[in-house]
Structure 1
Amino acid sequence: MTRAIQDYYPERFSHCFGCGRNNPHGHQLKSYWKGDETIARFTIAPMYSGGVPGNAYGGMVASLIDCHGTASAAAFACRAQGHELGEGAEPVRFVTASLTIDYLRPTPVGKEVTITGRLMSLEGRKVRVALALAAGGTVCARGEMLAVQFRE
């Protein structure tokens, strides 16, 4: 089985609520390559319902898109440097500089959603990623992220 993008993060970056493998209280989102795009799958628990029963709170949708976006930026940057994750140096980490989300329809709880990422541009430390979250093949939200390489 292929390792998730987040599984390559060094220990010091593995505590994120959305995707950190070392955060037992978080979502532990896992993102993977699928051709030239990235994909994550997640089932939103009913405790994250919004104001309408059976549908997710918008902040939950945003957190999934956000974490998948920064993981995607790291993977896209790695490929742009001519190697895959796990080959050579540890992957660079990215943080969100801006994130816009269009909520197109309600996102159901209790059903698997997929989050996809597609590279829009990569210039220096900045990566633009187009993102979509879908349930049952229907896009519920679209986003665009500007991620910036984190400097320690």
Structure 2
Amino acid sequence: MSVDAKLAELGIVLPEAAAPVASYVPVVVQGNMAYVSGQLPFVDGKLVTGRLGEDVSLEQGTAAARACGLMILAQLKAALIPLDRVVRIVKLGAFVSSTADFSDQPKIANGASELMVEVFGDIGRHARSAVGVPVLPINAAVEVDAIIALSAD
């Protein structure tokens, strides 16, 4: 089954790829690797802002991380990389805007991680980092970047 068919079966509609907020490109392909810049969480077209442990709940944070994962896939498509070329989600890096006493960053990152497995199956399983930070660009609650192995053209 193609990845697009799998997305349709799951009822997932990818968002429009967001424009960069600074001086960088969303996706760089080098050889058979795609490096996706950190993506911010847009839910229903609105940026999820705030800090975990302060004004963003665990459920909202997990949904925000999932939204970042969806944006990663949207950026690949916008870069004209068919999702069927993905042979492995190699690594996700999750950054969680959180208070000093919040320690559930891995639970938040699961929102993106579980999406990748849901969409890609075993090749969606990946290495990962999940870290807490005091603030993210434009007050985003979560940011996730990715390293993805691609098949040859």
TM-score normalised by length of structure 1: 0.40
The structure carrying a bigger helix percent of its residues is 2
Higher relative contact order (Cα pairs below 8 Å, separated by 6+ residues): 2
Q: Is the strand fraction higher in 1 or 2?
A: 1
